[in-house]
Amino acid sequence: MPAVLTRVSEYIDEIIQFVQKIIDKGLAYESNGSVYFNVPEFACKHTYCKLKPESAKNIALANEGEGALGST
């Protein structure tokens, strides 16, 4: 059992800001009221670990991937 219970509804503003950053970077796009991840654009600069399993323990790739998206 988790020690802390958080509700996603408490972080809506942060989620909207994060999604907007992804859109601004060209890594997502809006269509018909939904936001979609732009996989081809992401693949131009980043490598998906799941698509390249031998990269799974490569710390440099991990830092370059999701960590870069979360940084300001």
Q: Which pLDDT does position 42 carry in this prediction?
A: 79
Residues ≥6 apart with Cβ < 8 Å to 38 = 26, 27, 28, 29
pTM for this model (two decimals):
0.56
- 3-52 per-position pLDDT tens digit: 888 899 999 999 999 999 999 999 899 999 999 988 888 777 776 655 56
